[in-house]
Amino acid sequence: MADITYTPEMLAELERSYASGTRRLTYDGKTIEYQNLSDMERAINTIRRVLNKEAGISKSRRVHLRSKRGI
């Protein structure tokens, strides 16, 4: 399987298609049709994760706890 090189332009195009509800898009002469918007959302998240990792941006997490039992 060939490695896919994701670009910010590819992410932007996918986000535009997702926002308009279009499940078929063409990029670099290749056409991709997603079965549903959930598949598109997973693809968007994957591309974002890869691009952020390449840019050295890590996901910060914040956990808030509340307790009435003295924990």
Strands annotated E in 1-71 = 24-27, 30-33
Q: How confident is the model at residue 35, as a pLDDT?
A: 95
Does the residue 20 lie in any domain?
A: yes
From the list 50, 44, 54, the residue with the least C-alpha distance to 12 is 44
**pTM for the full model?**
0.73
Tell me how many domains the chain contains: 1
Does the residue 16 lie in any domain?
A: yes
Q: In this predicted model, what pLDDT tens digit does every residue of 22-53 receive, in sequence order?
A: 999 987 788 999 999 999 999 999 999 999 99
Does the residue 29 lie in any domain?
A: yes
Count the neighbouring beta carbons within 10 Å of the beta carbon of residue 17: 20
Per the structure, the complete domain to which residue 46 belongs is given by 8-55
Q: How confident is the model at residue 1, as a pLDDT?
A: 46
The Cα 36–Cα 44 span in angstroms is 13
pLDDT(69) > 80: no
Is the separation of the CB atoms in 29 and 41 below 8 Å?
Answer: no
